[in-house]
Structure 1
Amino acid sequence: MIFLNFENFLNNSIFTILFLVMIFQWIYIIIFPNKKIKLFTNFGVVLANFSLIGLLLIRWLNSGHFPLSNLYESLIFLSWTFILFYIILNYFFSNNFEIFGALLFPIILFIYSFANFSIPEELQNATPLIPALQSNWLMMHVTIMMLSYCSLLIGCLLSISFLVLNFKNIKIFQKEQVLDFKNLKLINNLIQIDSNIVFENKLIKILDNLSYRLLTIGFFFLTLGIISGSIWANEAWGSYWSWDPKETWAFITWLIFAIYLHSRIIKGWSGVKPAIIATFGFFIVWVCYLGVNLLGKGLHSYGWFT
């Protein structure tokens, strides 16, 4: 009873913290870039991180097993991994990462809200593990897969941000060509536009490079997760691969990002072309993780829609 009350308290607190962090990030970006607001936002991010850790630990103690046995717990874990990745990236790229935080935290809030308000309450409760999940592979395989999803999704979001800024710069450049250089005011405007382009070009390079690194890390985790899952499947069901819907879409996801890395490493592509592949991969990852779990019928299905 004590665990349940504290879990409910943390659930409500985390939702409030995530909402406030999102609002204050938007205020900092759009209205009032004050250092105190940024400090308050960073404090909220850290508080949300430790609150999610506490929530997962409570479920672990209450259920007696690692809290990744159903869709609800995996969504909570995914929310935490998003925040953890954000904290690490913000530490190394603090001067250029506020905009991305304003984009990322609405997604985190949506994931957390979906877990708490859309999944039926009876499927949110911690339950004993079915025989197939009673294995040490549960912690290793599922954790690695969640880390791969998180890294791939953030890398894809950075690629999408790259495409948006790149398209914006093209529009600015086109407008720049029609400026009348005889007009002093227009020359001043041009100087301002050029300074903005210099900043955004630097940001674009950071987004392209960071997206590449994160997608490489995510691909490594995905490969390791598929291998560990195959070994676990052989122990549980007597077959390394059964073309279950989850396994099929995991293979499709692997192929998409293998193509992405091939285009960058072998073909030498950079910029727009691989970013388009990553944008497509963003939706494939969501189908693999959430779509198959909700609508698919298979060994990995949480399937409460069906």
Structure 2
Amino acid sequence: FFFSKIFISILFVLFIFNFFGLISRWYISGHAPWTNGYESAIFISWCLIGISFLFYKNQFVSGITALIASILLMVAHYGNVMDPEITNLVPVLKSHWLIIHVATITSSYGFFLTGAFLGFLVLILFILKVCFRNYSEMISIHIEKLTIINEICLTIGLFLLTIGTFLGSVWANNSWGRYWSWDPKETWALISIMIYAFLLHMRLIPYFRSIFIFNFSSILSVSSILMTYFGVNYYLSGLHSYAKGDPISIPNWVYYSLLVLLIVSILSYYSFKKISYKNNQ
């Protein structure tokens, strides 16, 4: 408990430093610091630490959000993947909608990423519950709490993404004279909304009404967010090309991560089935 307080205090100090970094970049550039991949990664990492303070009573959430934030910061500062240079804005971005629309959308990504990592942690806990039967009751409590927090994060994220997409359509009408143009960024934002809306309503379907399916789906669903954030910006072109960067090669650690996810998912599924079988006996 003492070390957790120290950890939270360090997180708060880093949160303040990150905030002043964003403010400094805003002052120097003269515009909101989320106009390209580098700036948005810094902003999302700041939002992630803010999420940890929303659920500060759960130490798992603080640790997970700090981990995701550090990964994002490493991606932002790794090689030439994201350009940190401050450049002039294109005319369409010189609008007050930049502060409202983009901030709302990008902050929702923080909640979705948190939900995905919480889902992965729950899968690991299912495996540990079978391996350490003496602590099964305590692990079950953590599984239930983390699943509830996961659902809260996804609900907030869906709310922010929906509102942000609506505000983006208003901005599009002011800039281009139409609310919707099926631009890749718009399309994938709509796909993400539909995916997470289905995910949060899966509990109404008897076959999908299980903690395992919900947490596993929260991991798979974040792929649509990654496509919206990375894929569209770096591999597709459209009206949002102002945020586009040079195409990047997929690093090897991504494939290793997918392999680890596959192994953990299989082991967790069999552990979940084993636990369910014992409870039904």
The normalised TM-score by structure 2 is 0.80
Q: Tell me which residue corresponds to 1:234.
A: 173
CA contact (8 A) 1:157 1:282 kept: no
Match of 1:207 among 146, 171, 194: 146
CA contact (8 A) 2:102 2:164 kept: yes
> Matched residues in 1 for 2:170 and 2:210: separation?
36
Q: Tell me which residue corresponds to 2:39.
A: 73
The 5-angstrom pairing of residues 47-86 of structure 1 reads 47-86=13-52
Structure 2 stretches of 5 or more lacking a match? 248-281
> Matched residues in 1 for 2:149 and 2:119: separation?
9
Q: Tell me which residue corresponds to 1:8.
A: none
Cα 1:38–1:273 change in 2 (3 A) is closer
Q: Tell me which residue corresponds to 1:294.
A: 234
CA contact (8 A) 2:53 2:62 kept: no
> Matched residues in 2 for 1:255 and 1:214: separation?
16
Structure 1 stretches of 5 or more lacking a match? 1-33, 173-192
> Matched residues in 1 for 2:107 and 2:205: separation?
26
Q: Tell me which residue corresponds to 1:29.
A: none
CA contact (8 A) 1:256 1:277 kept: no
> Matched residues in 1 for 2:145 and 2:80: separation?
37
Task: Please tell me the root mean square deviation across aligned C-alpha atoms, in Å.
Answer: 2.0
Match of 1:116 among 77, 84, 104: 77
1:100 deviates by: 4.2
Bigger radius of gyration among the two: 1
Task: For 2:126, give the aligned amino acid.
Answer: N
> Matched residues in 1 for 2:67 and 2:153: separation?
20
The normalised TM-score by structure 1 is 0.74
Q: Tell me which residue corresponds to 1:168.
A: 128
> Matched residues in 2 for 1:231 and 1:114: separation?
32
1:263 deviates by: 1.0
Size of the aligned set, in residue pairs, is 245
1:236 deviates by: 1.0
Q: Give SS of 1:113's match.
A: helix
Q: Tell me which residue corresponds to 1:5.
A: none
The 5-angstrom pairing of residues 239-278 of structure 1 reads 239-264=178-203, 269-278=209-218
> Matched residues in 1 for 2:203 and 2:110: separation?
21
Q: Give SS of 1:126's match.
A: coil
CA contact (8 A) 2:173 2:179 kept: yes
What is the aligned-residue identity percentage? 32
1:171 deviates by: 5.0
* Structure 1 stretch displaced more, 112-121 or 76-85: 112-121
